[in-house]
Structure 1
Amino acid sequence: MADILISATSIVLLVLFFGTINGMRPKLPSDKGQDESDDGICKSMVEPQNYVCEEHTVTTGDGYILSLQRIPVGRSGGTSVDRPPVLLQHGLMMDGSTWMLLPPEKSLAFLLVDNGFDVWIANSRGTKYSRGHVSLSPDDAAYWEWSWDELVAYDLPAMFQHIHGATGQKFHYVGHSLGTLIALAAFSKQELFGMLRSAALLSPIAYVNQISSPLAKSAADIFLGEQLYWLGLHEFEPKGEAVGKLLNDFCNQPGINCSNLMNIMTGPNCCINSSTMNVFLEHEPQATATKNMIHLAQMIRMGTVAMYDYGNEDDNMSHYGQSTPPAYNMTSIPNDFPLYLSYGGKDALSDVKDVQVLLNCLKDHNGDKLVVQYRDDYAHADFVFGFNAHEVIYDPLMAFFRLH
């Protein structure tokens, strides 16, 4: 009985940690209107706002079939020729909808295209519109045998090559949260620069062992992700029936207010209104691999930015040719690559102390190639859902892109 309770608690806390890492609590089976259209992001999110939208697919080197959306021109029309391309990469448990949850005049995807950019929207493996594979089904445990290492090694290169080939241009990159980690990891290996003009990293994640969310820290410290994996749950589906029932029971406990979970996990977001939260719950959160969550928990516990640790010397030796996982060395990022980093004083996931460790790694970066923006009032989700982000974050971001 004790083991059952531990497992149930593990699932609940993991949902609270990872299912709310970039937003509110997951939508529960008892919630109304949770079904989404299966028509794709173009038809459900972009075309209703009177923008032209193209659906693209790319296949990674390890067989995953990813969806990409392209918004080539603004509502005023025109041509996509000579428009600088921009790729938007979402964070954990999110998909490309992240960038379009606010009205067009405030959503980064629409702002960019209306300001002369050619916008591409990423959807990482395992999310709703990127669940294809050349031979595996999401029902297969093997489909979920990946962590963010594979996003670095396969997803980013496949999307980068597709965009570069389709446009014939180098492009800008915007990442939020996990979208910053995979970019930094690739940059530390000095990869992908030949296709990039610059990168903007919102709520940058690299070092995370000073994370200030007590629930997130506890979830990592007691190996909750590993417990799920040992139970055979290789896919973490926050909208699943079992997880939903546990969350319903948890949220109905006396003294528990699940409406505050976003702030508990991400920090006290200053600038998100209730209408945005309602739109968020129509589209998110998305599934990810349990192994991916284990990898992030390893980083919290160890204070390192390294590849997935298989837990023993023999398995690490088999995968890496060494007894410990190889590190991603942040000091190896080329000093002349244009970087824009924006972080918040209230962020409980991209903690200011952890960001400072990253900035220390970049201390030799060329002064004219590194812009660091600090917002004392911003928490983790404000950077993508904040009602004033278009003014305080996106306007200077676009100005940075125009310089490069």
Structure 2
Amino acid sequence: MANSKVDLILVTFLFCTASVAAGKARLHSTRSSAAADGICKSLVVTQGYACQEHTVTTKDGYILGLQRIPASRSGQSASKPPVLLQHGLVMDAVTWVMNPPDESLAFILADAGYDVWLSNSRGTLSSHQHTSLSPSDPAYWEWSWDELVAYDMPALLQHVRSLTGQNMHYVGHSLGTLIALAAFSHKELVNMPRSAVLLSPIAYVSQMTSPIARSAAENFLAEALYRSGIYEFDLRWEGLVKLLQDICQKPGVDCTHLLTSFTGPNCCLNSTIVDVFLDHEPQPTSMKNLIHLAQMVRDGKISMYDYGDEAQNMEHYGQATPPLYNMSSIPNDLPLFLSYGGADALSDVRDVKLLLESLKDHDGDKLVTQYREDYAHMDFVMGENAREVVYDALMVFLRLQ
């Protein structure tokens, strides 16, 4: 894709963001009819797999959508332990089923005999409900990834274990890895997973090279939007998605490069994946979640949300500064598989090495690392060669646990 077209897209996005902030009004969000049908119906059943839609209610009232693939495409019921797949920021469970069955991790796991569960974080289309709040209420969006650790993850893990009677493997991508690491560092829920697979791990993020993410963090963009009364972050503003789709349909335009400025140069995305991506993604998240991540970029720490003044932090935490998540507190005998890429602009190699340094006392036979020099952030879940590059080793890891 020509640089001028990339610039046009980015400028348009920034203009839309500025317009919303200035007018304090939400533009209409666009979703395809396929997306509105639900993940099971639109993307799983259509590939020949059985699929169940579940709901899970968190202790703070969010009603999460959870999809289950209980059998292989041949109809053979799962004979291996459950696997819970957790997506990253501004994504949902579609992450795991966008590619054809022989390239999508959820389908690969199901065909290998695993009982596959697909989670959707609060705020996404599948998890947009609450017991008392509406997404139009500012209070609905008063959360960051701290709440995903404290509420979403326990509810999801407990639901899967209660229905299957088994501990599960956990697979996370991007923000899905941070949620797991934070929970395990507090020794919460560590008796539930058999193992944890961390694809493009996010923990320390101060070295990220993504120009969009870094510029937004350093210029306090999320904080400014939050102060202006914008509590939900949704990239699917009317007009922007249509612009992207129109540009991507032009001859000679490869929209897989659309993600480069944010994620790094993904090496291995098939251009047809963009159509599926734009039908379902990006998904909404809270502005407060983006503020929390921006704080991590600026501070270089893995800590809870900073309320910005000592009094509020004292009120929430009983101390003037937010508590840290200590990665070295993760149990040394928890089996971990970390896969990271040299071209990743969000999970930078230097940050991953900081994480690995904090895990230096981990039992040697319980920590597996994998490095792919040409992989960027989205290659791990959308790459057409991810099965050979990442998933084959991942499957071996799971079999050994």
TM-score, normalised to structure 1's length?
Answer: 0.89
| Helix, strand or coil at the partner of 1:274 | coil
Count matched residues: 378
CA distance in 2, matches of 1:232, 1:180: 30
Give the letter for the 1:61 counterpart: K
1:20 aligned residue: none
1:223 aligned residue: 220
1:59 aligned residue: 57
Q: C-alpha displacement at 1:34, in angstroms?
A: 4.1
Give the letter for the 1:110 counterpart: F
CA distance in 2, matches of 1:50, 1:198: 29
CA distance in 2, matches of 1:201, 1:13: 35
Map of 1:104-253 to 2, 5 A cutoff? 104-241=101-238
When residues 47 and 238 of structure 1 are mapped into structure 2, their CA distance, relative to the original with a 3 A threshold, is same
Q: 1:68 aligns with which of 66, 81, 94?
A: 66
Q: C-alpha displacement at 1:102, in angstroms?
A: 0.5
Q: C-alpha displacement at 1:37, in angstroms?
A: 4.0
CA distance in 2, matches of 1:97, 1:355: 26
CA distance in 2, matches of 1:194, 1:29: 43
CA distance in 2, matches of 1:15, 1:130: 24
1:136-176 Cα offsets, whole Å, 9 max, x none, are 00000000000000000000000000000000001000000
1:355 aligned residue: 352
Q: 1:266 aligns with which of 256, 263, 266?
A: 263
2:312 aligned residue: 315
Q: C-alpha displacement at 1:247, in angstroms?
A: 8.8
Give the letter for the 2:76 counterpart: G
CA distance in 2, matches of 1:54, 1:30: 27
2:3 aligned residue: none
Q: C-alpha displacement at 1:217, in angstroms?
A: 1.1
Give the letter for the 2:265 counterpart: P
Name structure 1 gaps, 5 residues minimum: 1-7, 17-27, 252-256
For the 8 Å contact 1:69–1:122, the answer to whether it is kept is yes
CA distance in 1, matches of 2:244, 2:40: 31
| Helix, strand or coil at the partner of 1:65 | strand
1:297 aligned residue: 294
Give the letter for the 1:136 counterpart: L
Give the letter for the 1:358 counterpart: L
1:209-232 Cα offsets, whole Å, 9 max, x none, are 000122221110110000100110
Give the letter for the 2:195 counterpart: S
Q: 1:372 aligns with which of 336, 348, 369?
A: 369
For the 8 Å contact 1:238–1:285, the answer to whether it is kept is yes
| Helix, strand or coil at the partner of 1:372 | strand
CA distance in 1, matches of 2:73, 2:12: 47
| Helix, strand or coil at the partner of 1:395 | helix
Give the letter for the 1:394 counterpart: Y
Q: 1:48 aligns with which of 46, 49, 54?
A: 46
Map of 1:318-333 to 2, 5 A cutoff? 318-333=315-330
1:254-281 Cα offsets, whole Å, 9 max, x none, are xxx9874411111111100110122111
TM-score, normalised to structure 2's length?
Answer: 0.89
Q: C-alpha displacement at 1:194, in angstroms?
A: 1.1
Q: 2:387 aligns with which of 374, 386, 390?
A: 390
Query: After TM superposition, which residue ranges in structure 1, 4 or more long, deviate above 2 angstroms?
Result: 8-11, 13-16, 28-31, 33-39, 240-248, 257-261
Q: 2:339 aligns with which of 329, 338, 342?
A: 342
1:338-376 Cα offsets, whole Å, 9 max, x none, are 000000000000000000000000011111000000000
Name structure 2 gaps, 5 residues minimum: 1-9, 19-26, 249-253
| Helix, strand or coil at the partner of 1:317 | helix
- Structure of greater relative contact order (alpha carbons < 8 Å, 6+ residues apart): 1
2:80 aligned residue: 83
For the 8 Å contact 2:109–2:116, the answer to whether it is kept is yes
Q: 1:39 aligns with which of 37, 40, 59?
A: 37
CA distance in 1, matches of 2:228, 2:193: 41
Give the letter for the 2:300 counterpart: G
Report the RMSD for the aligned CA atoms in angstroms: 2.6
CA distance in 1, matches of 2:358, 2:85: 24
Matched, 1:306 2:293: no
CA distance in 2, matches of 1:29, 1:274: 27
For the 8 Å contact 1:180–1:201, the answer to whether it is kept is yes
CA distance in 2, matches of 1:309, 1:374: 33
CA distance in 2, matches of 1:97, 1:143: 23
